[in-house]
Structures are given as C-alpha cells and as structure tokens.
Amino acid sequence: MKNLEFTNYTLPAHWAGALINGDYSGLSDEEQYELESWSTSGNWGYCVGVEGEPEFTPWHDARPEVLPCDCLTYTFQTA
C-alpha cells in the first residue's frame, strides 16, 4: 500500500475557493491567471485543506507571480 504524503504551502487567501472547491468565480482574470501560472509550474498535488486565519505576509510560496497579500496555509496531498 502506498503511503500518503502531504505538503503545506503558504498561498494567497483569495485562492481558497478555487483551490478547495474549484470555484474561480470570486477571482479576477488576473488573479485566475496568477493561480493557474503557479499551479502549472510544479507538481503540487491536490489541495485537501486549509487552516488558519488570513494574515498579511510579504512572502509566500506563489512568489514572484503574486504580490504580497493575506495568506493561509494550504495542505496538498503530494503522493
């Protein structure tokens, strides 16, 4: 049996609906482009959860595509 592996990423809070539910309706065209650029730039796996309260951070894992913003910690299943 294959062991499940998970990785946490600090990413923009406004991506939550798209990453968890596949709902891009709250994103502008630019924000959707930024999310799609990040998600196709690596093998991130599937987002299986999010935790915390949005908190402004000048650094996150989606940089340099996205400016500093409120972020959350997202958990991705990588294997």
Tens-place pLDDT, residues 25-63: 999 999 999 999 999 888 888 999 999 999 999 999 998
- From start to end of the chain, where are the E strands? 6-12, 46-57, 69-77
Fill in the DSSP letter of residue 2.
Answer: P
- The chain-wide mean pLDDT, for the chain, equals 91
Which sequence spans correspond to the domains of the chain?
6-77
The residues near 13 (Cβ < 8 Å, ≥ 6 apart) are 54, 69, 70, 71, 72
pTM: 0.89
